[in-house]
Structure 1
Amino acid sequence: MAKPKVFVSYDHSEDAHYKRLLQAWDANPDFDFEFDSRGPDVAINSTDAAVVKARLTTLMKAATHLLVLVGEKSHTSKWMKWEVDRAKESDVNLKLAAVKLNKFNLTPAGLLNVGTSWATSFERDRIVDALKQAKVGH
């Protein structure tokens, strides 16, 4: 079975440390997934956002899963909201998985009531399990 191709959505200003951990895990040939995570560095409402959205959509269409790293500010991130909403659209249709980086972090609304698979903690095996259980969100 092919390794899942995972697009990672996270707050680039707050949670980049966790993305780096995923990259380190991904360097291990025994790890169960690979991912793209090139983040936007423009405001979602700027004139340059259309180019970023097109690039992110291309990456998402090449993926099989969306993994959302739910940080302290994720529920207010307009880019993360856009990524989650885009992942659920019929031309993308990604399987949804998420992990709260702290149990008190608020869940972004787009992950609620759509069958999101949750990792119980930010540990490699828990994330791999969540990805294996993930289903397309609607």
Structure 2
Amino acid sequence: MGKTKTFVSYDHSEDVHYKRLLQAWDANPEFDFDFDSRGPDVAINSSDAPVIKAALVKKMKEATHLLVLVGEKSANSSWMEWEIDRAKMDDTKLKLAAVKLGKSNTTPSGLLGVGTSWATSFERDRIVEALRSATNRY
């Protein structure tokens, strides 16, 4: 598999340290994982949301994969729900992978029953394997 371009969906208020770990891993030239994780800091229903959504869609269309970091509040995040749903649209069709950051975290419904590839833990090799196994057959 060549280098992937992965859009990362995560709760920006709770799980940003995991994004920073991904960035540190990405700095390693042997790590075949490229990502963009620019995210919104406004409410999904605010007047600024359409501009942010357009920017996110542009990044998603440049990506091959969506990696969802399932944190404690992910299942209740309107932005994450939107990103997951948007990733599955015909003009985007990203391959889906996810990792739970805690065993008891609730999976966002958009990842269920759609063949999401799961990393068994937040470790570099597990995430790379989940991305390699990911499909867009939903």
Normalised by the size of structure 1, how large is the TM-score? 0.98
- Contiguous gaps of at least 5 residues in structure 1: none
> How do 1:116-131 residues align onto structure 2 when only pairs under 5 Å count?
116-131=116-131
Report the Cα distance in structure 2 between the residues aligned to 1:87 and 1:39, rounded to whole angstroms. Answer: 14
Report the Cα distance in structure 1 between the residues aligned to 2:50 and 2:137, rounded to whole angstroms. Answer: 24
Report the Cα distance in structure 2 between the residues aligned to 1:11 and 1:137, rounded to whole angstroms. Answer: 25
- Contiguous gaps of at least 5 residues in structure 2: none
RMSD over equivalenced CA pairs, Å:
0.7
Report the Cα distance in structure 2 between the residues aligned to 1:58 and 1:18, rounded to whole angstroms. Answer: 23
The residue that corresponds to 2:110 in the other structure is 110
Identity %: 75
> How do 1:68-87 residues align onto structure 2 when only pairs under 5 Å count?
68-87=68-87
The residue that corresponds to 1:28 in the other structure is 28
Q: Which moved more, 1:59-68 or 1:1-10?
A: 1-10
| Structure 2 residue 74 is matched with structure 1 residue 62 | no
> 3-state SS of the aligned residue for 2:72?
coil
Q: Is the 8 A contact 2:67 2:97 kept in 1?
A: yes
Equivalent residue pairs, number: 138
2:105 corresponds to which letter in structure 1? N
Could you list the per-position Cα deviations for residues 52-87 of structure 1 after superposition, in whole angstroms to 9, with x for gaps in the alignment?
A: 000000000000000000000000000000000000
Normalised by the size of structure 2, how large is the TM-score? 0.98
1:117 corresponds to which letter in structure 2? S
The residue that corresponds to 2:8 in the other structure is 8
